[in-house]
Structure 1
Amino acid sequence: MFGEIIGAISNFMYSYLLIIMLIGVGLYYTLRTRLVQVRLFKETIRVILEKPVESGAVSSFQALMVSTASRVGTGNIIGISTAICLGGYGAVFWMWVIAVVGGASAFIESTLAQIYKKRGPHGSYGGPAYYIEAALGSRGLAVLFALALIVTYGCGFNMLCSYNLQSTFAALSFYNPDTTPWIIGAVEAVLVGYCLLGGGKRVIKATSTLVPLMGVIYISVAFILTIMHINLVPGVVGRIFAEAFDFTAIFGGFAGSCMMFGIKRGLYSNEAGVGSAPNAAAAADVSHPVKQGLVQMLSVFIDTLLICTATAFMCLSSGIEPTKELAGAPYVQAALAASMGDYAKLFITVSMVLFAFTTLLGNLYYVDNAFAYVLKHVPGKTFTLCYRILACVLIFIGAGSSMGTMWDLADVTMGCMAIINLPVICILGGPALRALDDYTEQRNAGKNPEFKASKIGLTQKLDYWQD
């Protein structure tokens, strides 16, 4: 019953509401920023290489790596596989669309996070909850967004991540679908709980070191295997575009179409417009808010146009036809095994264990920050202990749940964040657009842009950017 209700809500949200909001807001800001994704791409590369204003502060590059690292993993590998197996080749095209137009939304939300960021004892912090309260004067709406973030990361995303992690073991000989998911879920829950409750520092340090390495190895393998089957790539590209524009099939059954799956999985992977990346963007130390907006825009492109595309082409050029039965980890493992043999199954399993474990921990740190905003102070030890135990219980439950229910739950909770954040950035876009004009004016004059709030007409008191 729960699965059916969540599935119905998800289909409604992405069939009638979010598809219009996501593409509409993305196109709106693509036009208002005069194609900032293309026009300032070279400038974006330059900004990434800049050092922070203050020694020891978080650089643009570091903030980019934080937000990118939180995205790389289940979304880029299992999410893309699921989209292709359930939606067809055309899902890849609609994933590209949501990334390109979503880049403009990501630029606006991260620029706003920088403008309205707060000063803390260990540097700056902020995000949608803070710019909603500061610019709209609505703490109620800001709290609602923070609560949506808590439910999304503490429940939806972590339960899905837990399911995806255990699903990679399905290709191994010892896997029993009735018992193995619950055993793996219990191990996940215990390890995460151990790390969250103060132990496991060596585990966290080891995985944090290994994950970037595994990410580089995974992307390299994906590109190498695609090049090995380069003769199949033209046919793959042809099918992607042919199925993407088969509107009879799309509108004949939209809930299961390539368009909906491409948009869902693309959004889950890059989170453009959802309001999550601005939390990382606010921590960067830059001389102008637009710099971090450009950096976070690039993060969307790295995530979807690079990593997700690498996964898609590696799978689709393998000669293994995507089917509903292979949806998720099995399709990626089968595609790799076609070229690498059975070692591929172990490679994906190890990669996903590392990616998913750090994602589970990272998601709960987002939750920590959201609780601090809602409560107006850092949660006490008893409160923190209780919600972290609950989080571990949800991780356990997620591992043994069904794939469809877990994806739908993640889509619905993420959709709630987007439904709040997208209208907000439409209302508050003015300061971000004026900041962009100020930035380009200074760059055209040969200056390293420095931001003053009064220069774009912001008279309210801000923690940063005052004269």
Structure 2
Amino acid sequence: MEQMIQDLIVIVNDFLWSKLLIVMLIAIGLYFTLRSNVLQLRMLKEMFRLLFESTSGPRGSISPFQAFCISMAARVGTGNITGIAIAIALGGPGAVFWMWIIAIIGSASSFVESTLAQVYKIKDGESFRGGPAYYMQAGLKKRWMGALFAILITLSFGLVFNAVQSNTITIAFENSFGTNRLAVGLIMTAIFAVIIIGGVKRIAKLSEYIVVVLAVLYIGVALTIVVINIADMPAVLALIVKNAFGIEQVAGGSLGAALMHGVKRGLFSNEAGMGSAPNAAATATTSHPAKQGLIQALGVLFDTLVICTSTAFIILLSGVYEQQGLGGIELTQAALSVHMGSWASGFLAIMVFLFAFSTLMGNYYYGETNIEFLNTSKVWLWLYRICVLAMVIFGSVAKVQLVWDLADLFMGLMVVVNLIAITLLSRIAFDVLRNYMQQKKAGRDPQFVKSSVKGLEDVECWDD
């Protein structure tokens, strides 16, 4: 029975990821890129400026930088370490090239969805909440669509993706220290339970510290390895490009495999157009929705072009990707050991624990805000928390393939629903961007009210 279910999931995933989603992601991302006059390159300097812009919000509110860190906490996780390794193992070095492409194109999609999340956010005490479910209900007037998305993201991020994170942590510790996977899972679950009961403000504060420290440390390690092996970099870059187009067959890679696994793992890591990051974007206190949209667009570029590329270079410079039987975290651990010695495996296990733990927090919050969309009763919230903790324990001992296949299935369905919604609502996002640019050209710090854009209805937080 279990094998039948897994076979069915594989068939559906194959259709979603080798056909439907590749076409949708690239076509819609290109459309948004052209409509925005390539904002991901044209406004790159503005994105960095906004990230560190000082804002004044009420005590207890979430700053734009903290909202960015919540989304990066979910993005910067095992997808950057394990997912990239899986993409290279299954799709060859060319998968890295397609991850770059999907990030650059997807950055525009991230701007649209995160701007919409800001426009349609609702008040939640001293802070805000929102996301795709909220803009589907208020913007499209389709509560059923919002409810479907809320269920899919709760199942995928809150439950299945958190099982993926704990799975990676326990395997990494077992490989490096010989620890019992269940024991590590139980300890991790206990710590996680204390954090999530503290609410979104505690999640935001912890994410702010963990993401910054981890990103700097991991990039520093990768940069050191690249500098030491700088003579081999031209060959590695040529290998990535050749393999991306099937010119050179390496590690079983072909154009189709490289494209499919590059898009799949790239999206799993940077989440562009998926509908997850907007849940974090909506929490920010900001003067204009486009500001958080631009910050989240930067997050996609940073996640893939910097952090994922760091993992790719570590693996490709080591040569271990050509060995049979290595995939996921084991491949990255083997690659780091080649560069830094056997102690590097344990170092990466600890890094993975912290990376994945930050992701657990971001993923949990995405589920929480959508549970509140479906039903504001605290009973449902506590039931969700119990299920999340149970899935963390389950993931710590589960088989890898089934967990990843389920993650791919729910993520694929979620992306389809969100891409349809943001395409239908994209006019509003681009009108908001136009308003932002007009104010910038006039030399003002952009301020937004709902009358700034024609046709805005059911908007709670931008009164004139």
Task: Look up the match of 1:436.
Answer: 433
2:449 equivalent to 1:446: no
Q: Secondary structure, in 3 states, of the residue corresponding to 1:333? A: helix
Return closer, same or farther for 1:287/1:209 CA change in 2, 3 Å cut-off. Answer: closer
Q: Secondary structure, in 3 states, of the residue corresponding to 2:389? A: helix
Query: Cα deviations across residues 434-466 of structure 1 (Å, max 9, x unaligned)?
Result: 111111122122222122322321352422222
- In 1, Cα distance between the equivalents of 2:50 and 2:358? 27
2:37 equivalent to 1:34: yes
Letter matched to residue 420 of structure 1? V
- In 2, Cα distance between the equivalents of 1:438 and 1:33? 13
The alpha-carbon deviation at position 170 of structure 1 amounts to 4.1
2:85 equivalent to 1:81: yes
Within 5 A, what are the aligned runs for 1:17-416?
17-54=20-57, 56=59, 57-172=61-176, 174=178, 180-193=180-193, 196=196, 209=209, 212-246=212-246, 257-375=257-375, 377-380=376-379, 383-416=380-413
Return closer, same or farther for 1:195/1:291 CA change in 2, 3 Å cut-off. Answer: closer
Deviation beyond 6 Å, 4+ runs, structure 1:
201-208, 247-250, 252-256
The alpha-carbon deviation at position 241 of structure 1 amounts to 0.4
The alpha-carbon deviation at position 44 of structure 1 amounts to 1.5
Return closer, same or farther for 1:190/1:62 CA change in 2, 3 Å cut-off. Answer: closer
Please say if residues 85 and 323 of structure 1, whose CA atoms lie closer than 8 Å, have aligned partners that are also in contact: no
The alpha-carbon deviation at position 368 of structure 1 amounts to 1.8
Q: Secondary structure, in 3 states, of the residue corresponding to 2:123? A: strand
The alpha-carbon deviation at position 207 of structure 1 amounts to 9.1
Please say if residues 222 and 314 of structure 2, whose CA atoms lie closer than 8 Å, have aligned partners that are also in contact: yes
- In 2, Cα distance between the equivalents of 1:290 and 1:67? 16
Task: Look up the match of 1:6.
Answer: 9
- In 1, Cα distance between the equivalents of 2:254 and 2:378? 43
Deviates more, 1:396-405 or 1:237-246: 396-405
Query: Cα deviations across residues 360-400 of structure 1 (Å, max 9, x unaligned)?
Result: 2432232222111101x1422xx444433333332222222
Q: Secondary structure, in 3 states, of the residue corresponding to 1:326? A: coil
| Match among 451, 456, 460 for residue 457 of structure 2 | 460
The alpha-carbon deviation at position 267 of structure 1 amounts to 0.3
- In 2, Cα distance between the equivalents of 1:244 and 1:254? 7
Deviates more, 1:71-80 or 1:395-404: 395-404
- In 2, Cα distance between the equivalents of 1:25 and 1:205? 34
The alpha-carbon deviation at position 324 of structure 1 amounts to 4.8
Q: How many residues align?
A: 458
The alpha-carbon deviation at position 105 of structure 1 amounts to 0.3
Return closer, same or farther for 1:393/1:65 CA change in 2, 3 Å cut-off. Answer: closer
The alpha-carbon deviation at position 191 of structure 1 amounts to 4.3
Return closer, same or farther for 1:462/1:259 CA change in 2, 3 Å cut-off. Answer: same
Query: Cα deviations across residues 307-348 of structure 1 (Å, max 9, x unaligned)?
Result: 111111122112434445111111111111112111101101
Please say if residues 436 and 446 of structure 2, whose CA atoms lie closer than 8 Å, have aligned partners that are also in contact: yes
The alpha-carbon deviation at position 55 of structure 1 amounts to 5.2
The alpha-carbon deviation at position 128 of structure 1 amounts to 0.7
The alpha-carbon deviation at position 405 of structure 1 amounts to 1.9
Query: Cα deviations across residues 389-435 of structure 1 (Å, max 9, x unaligned)?
Result: 33333222222222222222111111111110001000001111111
Letter matched to residue 379 of structure 1? K
- In 1, Cα distance between the equivalents of 2:197 and 2:452? 46
- In 1, Cα distance between the equivalents of 2:293 and 2:208? 26
Letter matched to residue 423 of structure 1? I
Question: Identity percentage over the alignment?
Answer: 41
Please say if residues 7 and 405 of structure 1, whose CA atoms lie closer than 8 Å, have aligned partners that are also in contact: no
The alpha-carbon deviation at position 67 of structure 1 amounts to 1.0
Query: Cα deviations across residues 217-253 of structure 1 (Å, max 9, x unaligned)?
Result: 1211111111111111111100100010117979x99
Letter matched to residue 448 of structure 2? F
- In 1, Cα distance between the equivalents of 2:10 and 2:148? 23
Please say if residues 372 and 381 of structure 2, whose CA atoms lie closer than 8 Å, have aligned partners that are also in contact: no
Deviates more, 1:201-210 or 1:447-456: 201-210
Please say if residues 25 and 105 of structure 1, whose CA atoms lie closer than 8 Å, have aligned partners that are also in contact: yes
Please say if residues 15 and 255 of structure 1, whose CA atoms lie closer than 8 Å, have aligned partners that are also in contact: no
- In 1, Cα distance between the equivalents of 2:138 and 2:224? 48
Please say if residues 113 and 281 of structure 1, whose CA atoms lie closer than 8 Å, have aligned partners that are also in contact: yes
Which consecutive residues of structure 1, in runs of 5 or more, have no partner in the other structure? none
- In 2, Cα distance between the equivalents of 1:125 and 1:190? 26
Which consecutive residues of structure 2, in runs of 5 or more, have no partner in the other structure? none
Please say if residues 223 and 314 of structure 1, whose CA atoms lie closer than 8 Å, have aligned partners that are also in contact: no
Letter matched to residue 378 of structure 2? P
- In 2, Cα distance between the equivalents of 1:362 and 1:135? 25
User: Scaled by the length of structure 2, what TM-score is found?
Assistant: 0.92
